[in-house]
Amino acid sequence: MVVSTTAFFSLFIKYVYMPTDQLRIGKYVIVKNQPILFPLELVHSDVVNNAQSAGFFILQVTGLSVEVYCWGESASLNLKSDEAVMRALSGIL
């Protein structure tokens, strides 16, 4: 599956611009120590071919704070979520 840039960004926007006190569930990959968050509808390997870590996330926005929890794995990339990545994402978001 090839995802156009426009389709990708329209799906991504719903994760970036969200009201507070809500949860979002999605997928993530870490590439060059940078997180890429995207919707469940996309497959990890459709977003990148090579990553350091991959899995799923829950994002909760409460007021001015953001909490994130990562878990699972990507079957398409054969990568697991990493505890260190979860801590790093928490510090970035």
Indicate the number of domains in the chain.
1
Q: What percent of the chain has pLDDT over 90?
A: 20
Q: What is the 3-state secondary structure (H, E, C) of 52-86?
A: CEEEEEEEEEECCEEEEEEECEECCCCEECCHHHH
pLDDT digits (tens, 9 = 90+) for 16-40: 555 556 778 899 898 888 888 888 9
How many of the other CB atoms lie within 10 Å of CB of 70?
24
Question: Is the confidence at residue 78, as pLDDT, over 70?
Answer: yes
Q: What is the pTM of this model?
A: 0.69
Range of the domain at 54: 5-92
Give DSSP secondary structure letters for 8-64. HHHHHHHHHS--SSEEEEEEEEEETTEEEEE-TTS-HHHH-S--SEEEEEEEEEETT
Which range has the top average pLDDT, 7-11, 41-45, 57-61? 41-45
Looking at residue 65, what is its pLDDT?
73
